[in-house]
Amino acid sequence: MTVAAVGQPLIRKDGHAKVTGAAKYSADWPVEKVHYGVIFESAIASGKVLGFDIEDAGKVPGVVEIITYKNAPSLHSIPSQLRMSLGDPQLPLQNNRIYYNGQPLGVVVAQTLEAAEQAAQLVKMRYQSDIALLNFEEIRKSSAKTVKKDVAGRKATDRKGDVEAQIKKSAQVVSATYTTPIENHHPIETHSTVAIWTGKQLKVYDATQGVANLGKLLSEAFKVSADNMQVISKFIGGGFGSKGSAWTHIFIAVMAAKVTQVPVKIVITRNQMSTNIGYRANSIQNVTLGSDQNGKLLAIKHETVNPTSIKKDFLEPAGSLFKMMYAAPAIATTQKVVNLNYPGPTFMRAPGECPGSFALESAMDELAAVLKLDPIEIRLRNYAENDPMKDVPFSSKSLRECYRLGAEKFGWSRYKIKPGTERHGDSYVGYGMASGSYPVHFFPAQAKVELLNDGTAKVVSATQDIGTGTYTVMTQLAADALGLPYEKVTFDLGDSHYPAAGPSGGSSTVSSVGWAIADASQNLLNQLKKIASQDRASALFNLKSEQITARDASLIDVNDSSRSETYVELLRRNNKTSLVAAGKMNEKQQKENESKFSQHAYGAHFAEVRVHHLTGEVTLVKMVGAFAAGKIVNPKTARSQFMGGMIFGIGMGLTEQNIVDERSGKFMLRDLAEYHVPVNKDVPEIEIVFVEEKDSIVNPAGTKGIGEIGNVGSAAAIANAVFNATGIRIRDLPITPDKLAIELHKRS
Ligand code: MOS
């Protein structure tokens, strides 16, 4: 009997191709006559470019063209329903206006990368500078705008009950401001685009988290019919949200290829990754928690503000977690943005929930500390049995088990409520924990299944594998849905000509595309059953569809398993080389589920730290993450996802930040030497606990998405452990040694 593929810790299908270098990332495709584009950028944050001096640049041997707004093709405007997929809503090189430092002002196209780089350095710009809005701290005081809905369309500013009255009634009130820094994505593969025009046909290899959306955008901007437009993205070296929107370089590459009539490749430099592809906006979050003397919450109040660009109100929806994590009679969230001459921020792994969790889970820890309660105990006392804001049940929720199993694995019994009581050599030792949650998101998705008469099946969808294991897990889901062994099924993706699916974002892929595969497989099996029941030579002749089951590559009589035949026999006898079926996620059902239930994955984070008593250096000793996220399709790739998310939290907690020069508007930390992503030496032993969870509502496979939840709460657990070690509460991330050392020195 065929073993179910779902739930097996199978190795990645693409693993071999990746480690041998055979996997083709967008910039790797060999393209004949390809030329190289290098973008040059504005050095001012606001104003106009008055002119370009391109004479020296044009003399560099190999330079073919220099394109600026003066000679760039005019782009057609993007219809409003697609504009959300634009990184920068202002299409590039269309006029001389400048809104941020680092804005692309033109591109050099040359026969070699070296020539293009050299020439791009030689282009000189003359500017007219306007006053730039750059001081976030100041400008927010007068010009913060309240946002009604976040980018996912959820209510951003929300309330229930009378939060002020409940705060007045509270026996304990904790009120504090938490800040999180600008974070950059920095996947290993920087963004890259190869644009190839063949007459009216446009083919683009692009490192994108959304081939279907990008195809639609480029079709509109360049007026290319859907048939003539193809976006390919077979492998992506990480995205974390930065490749979820179409940024300026993609349009520039396509324009450059159009102007020069040769294929053009643009690879974004590590330096450009700081400004041209989005970032996580910094946040200032005011939190007030009010409780009775037993720590039962009466009021949860949260106000957050983040900078955004002049052109787009991008909210980092840090309030989302405050609305659903804990039960309270009164909850109020206010979310604001401030338009500045900054490049546009964007989605970054668990947008909103991630920075929000630092504020909420730190504040809960502060409340526990003043009440002298165990941090797990205070969370259990405020456990939300229903969605506190929407007042609907959860489709499933296993957070209690996350606390219990995570605590057990971590050894939480070592925790002492009084901070600063444990020493190890020159360091204080501390333990911290935090809750995490991430919603189950969906994007409409379609898939196509083809069953061949050799007993294999091919499944395709225009989804992407951003490094998470999509090739592998979709094959697992399809194999089980089709009743075929895993080895007999292939899954392909990353081609906009396949049936459309959404961007690989919001941890939505397995839930959405998996649903489409389930539907397509069902449709295919129904066709097959029909053939069997109409086939006089079949053992299943005249049986109704519900009297036939499919497994082990065979159709079988439900009431008599001796009556069966294989898919292969059936197809061959009926002279069919293959059978094809389409399927899609059931959007209507999904919307209905969402209105009746609150659907979330949950996690509990635990961290053990040592803090040097003089230098304030924080060393992580151990982290445990316990996660309940519905059905886990592949524990091996899932474990990597959870760990990756937690390591993202180490970056947010201890090492990562970008800084804006308020005179020029330039993002200052532009390479991996200055912008510190955690490296192996920063990462301790991490253990992942899988908390089994069955969710029969959320989608056919019962999956909840796991890409982002690992990043929700891990920075807070670290900050709470630092407090437990030292008694010092750092509310401003990252917790760099200087911030702790100042406080430690005050004591000594
Ligand atoms: Mo993710 S930030 O939704 O790619």
Q: Is the pLDDT of residue 541 over 90?
A: yes
- Cβ atoms 427, 616 nearer than 8 A: no
**Which pLDDT score is estimated for 3?**
86
Between CA 595 and CA 601, with CA 599 as vertex, the angle to 5 degrees is 170
The answer, as to whether pTM is greater than 0.85, is: yes
C-alpha distances (whole Å) from 103 to each of 9, 341, 585 are 45, 10, 39
Q: Is the pLDDT of residue 152 over 80?
A: no
**Which pLDDT score is estimated for 444?**
98
Q: Is the pLDDT of residue 519 over 90?
A: yes
Q: Encode pLDDT of 714-728 as tens digits.
A: 999 999 999 999 999
Q: Binning pLDDT at 50, 70 and 90, where does residue 620 land?
A: very high
Ligand 1, pocket residues at CB < 6 Å: 209, 239-241, 244, 347-349, 351, 505-506
From the CA of 505, give the closest atom in ligand 1: 3
708 is an active site residue: yes
Q: Binning pLDDT at 50, 70 and 90, where does residue 118 land?
A: very high
**Which pLDDT score is estimated for 155?**
87
Give dist(CA 346, CA 718) in Å, integer: 25
**Which pLDDT score is estimated for 1?**
73
Q: Binning pLDDT at 50, 70 and 90, where does residue 675 land?
A: very high
Q: Are strands 201-206 and 229-232 parallel, antiparallel or unpaired?
A: parallel
- Region 426-454: mean pLDDT is 98
Q: Binning pLDDT at 50, 70 and 90, where does residue 457 land?
A: very high
Distance from residue 243's CA to the centre of ligand 1 (Å): 8
Q: Encode pLDDT of 470-514 as tens digits.
A: 999 999 999 999 999 999 999 999 999 999 999 999 999 999 999
Mean pLDDT value across the chain: 97
Q: Binning pLDDT at 50, 70 and 90, where does residue 2 land?
A: confident
Secondary structure of 43-84 as H, E, C letters: CCCCEEEEEEECHHHHHCCCEEEEEECCCCCCCCCCCHHHHC
- Region 193-214: mean pLDDT is 98
Distance from residue 190's CA to the centre of ligand 1 (Å): 16
Q: Which phi and psi (to 5°) does residue 76 adopt? A: -80, 150
**Which pLDDT score is estimated for 520?**
98
- Region 185-192: mean pLDDT is 97
Q: Which one, of 121, 684, 605, lies nearest residue 358 by Cα? A: 605
Distance from residue 177's CA to the centre of ligand 1 (Å): 26
Q: Encode pLDDT of 725-743 as tens digits.
A: 999 999 999 999 999 999 9
**Which pLDDT score is estimated for 229?**
98
Nearest CA to ligand 1 atom 4: 241
Q: Is the pLDDT of residue 33 over 80?
A: yes
From the CA of 241, give the closest atom in ligand 1: 4
Q: Binning pLDDT at 50, 70 and 90, where does residue 135 land?
A: very high
Close Cβ partners of 571 (under 8 Å, ≥ 6 residues apart): 451, 452, 453, 531, 577, 578, 579
Q: Encode pLDDT of 633-645 as tens digits.
A: 999 999 999 999 9
Q: Binning pLDDT at 50, 70 and 90, where does residue 154 land?
A: confident
Q: Binning pLDDT at 50, 70 and 90, where does residue 149 land?
A: confident
